[in-house]
Amino acid sequence: MPETPKSEILPDARPDNWVDRFAPEGLRPWLKLGRFDRPTGIWLLMLPGWQGAALAASMAGRWPDLVLLAKIFVGAALMRAAGCAYNDIIDRDLDTKVARTAGRPVASGRISVRQAVVFLVVCSLAAAAILFTLPPLAIGLGVGSLLLVAAYPFMKRITWWPQAWLGLTFNWGALLGFAAVTGEIGLPAVLLYLGGVFWTLGYDTIYAVQDLEDDALAGIRSSARRLGRSAPKAVLGAYILAFLLALACAFTARLGPLFPPLAAGYGLILSRQAARLDMDDPAGALTLFRANALAGLVLFAALAAGQFGQGLWGGGGL
C-alpha cells in the first residue's frame, strides 16, 4: 500500500509512524483522530495506571498482575482515543489557527463532527467494557475521571495552567490501578498521584513550547506562554517535586532498597529534559517530551522492584 505523502503527516507525528506507513488509506484519518500515529500519549496515560498497580503489588510482596496490566494498556489506548476525539470536536475552531493542529481530521474536515462523535462513543463503550471487569472502587474512579476529561478542553480558555489540569486527568490511573489491586486508596497511592500531576505539568509545558507563537495569535493559554523564559526553571521545579513525591510514596509504602537506585534513573531523565529545554527550539521540545515514556517506564520498574527487601529502606508504613 502507498505511504502517506510527507505533506499529510501531522507535524507532531514521527515521519516513520506506522499509521502513515502501513495503515490502509481509508483508516488513516480515524487512526489519526485517536492519535494512534502519536503513541507517546498512550504511554503517558497508561503508565500511571501501571505504576499504581505495581505499587500495590509490591506492598503485597508480589509482581504486578499481567492481566491487569493488559487491561490498563488497552483501556488507556481506548480512552486516549476517545479523549482526543472529544478534544478535537471542542477545539476544532481553535485547531485551524495553529499550524501543528490544523491538519487534524476534524479541523481539516476529513472527518465530520458527527462521525467523530460516533468514534468517541464506540471507543468509550469499549473502554467501559474493560473498566467494568475491575473491583467496585476502581469502577467508581474510572467513571469519576470523566468529569476531569470533560472539563479539560475548556481549561486553555479560562486558565494559564491547562497543563496542571491535564496532570490531574492523566494521572488518575495511579489511583485506579492501586484500587484495582487493593480495593482501596492509601496514602502511598495519593503521593504517587500527586507526583504524577507535577510530572505532567512539566512534560506538557515542554510540549506546549511547540505552539508558542500560534497560541499567542489564537488566544490559547498555556503554562509555556505564561512562564516565558522562566519555563525551563519552572519545569525543573515541577520535576523535582515529582521526584520527591515518588520518594515519599515509596517511603510510606515501605518499598525495598532496589527502589532508590532505579528511581534515580527517573530523576536523571527528568532533570536532563529541564536542562536541555530551549524555548526557541520547538522540534527539540517535542523530542524532550517523548522521553517521558521512558521516564515513566523507569519509575514503573522501580515500583515493581520495590517488593524485594521491603522495609529495609522504606519508613514505618501506614
Average pLDDT, the chain: 94
Does residue 314 register a pLDDT over 80? no
Does residue 217 register a pLDDT over 90? no
3-state DSSP call for residue 184? coil
Share of the chain above pLDDT 70, in %: 96
More reliable by pLDDT, 318 or 84: 84
- Structural domain includes residue 116: yes
- Structural domain includes residue 158: yes
- Structural domain includes residue 315: no
pLDDT given at position 6: 53
pLDDT given at position 247: 98
More reliable by pLDDT, 245 or 99: 245
- Per-residue pLDDT tens digits for 21-34: 999 999 999 999 99
Does residue 318 register a pLDDT over 50? no
More reliable by pLDDT, 71 or 16: 71
Into how many domains does the chain fold?
A: 1
Q: Specify the pTM.
A: 0.93
Q: Which CATH number characterizes residue 300's domain? A: 1.10.357.140
Does residue 76 register a pLDDT over 90? yes
pLDDT given at position 2: 54
- Structural domain includes residue 199: yes
Q: What is the mean pLDDT of residues 49-56?
A: 98
Q: What is the mean pLDDT of residues 25-51?
A: 96
**Cβ atoms of 270 and 242 closer than 8 Å:** yes
More reliable by pLDDT, 242 or 219: 242
**Cβ atoms of 208 and 225 closer than 8 Å:** yes
- Structural domain includes residue 3: no
pLDDT given at position 10: 85
Cβ-based neighbours of 291, under 8 Å, separated by 6 or more: 269, 272, 273
Q: What is the mean pLDDT of residues 230-240?
A: 97
Share of the chain above pLDDT 90, in %: 87
- Structural domain includes residue 74: yes
In which domain, by residue range, is 286 found? 31-305
- With bands split at pLDDT 50, 70 and 90, how would you rate the model's confidence at 39? very high
Q: What is the mean pLDDT of residues 157-161?
A: 95
**What is the rounded distance in angstroms from the CA atom of residue 236 to the CA atom of residue 220?**
24
- With bands split at pLDDT 50, 70 and 90, how would you rate the model's confidence at 317? very low
- Structural domain includes residue 192: yes
- Structural domain includes residue 102: yes
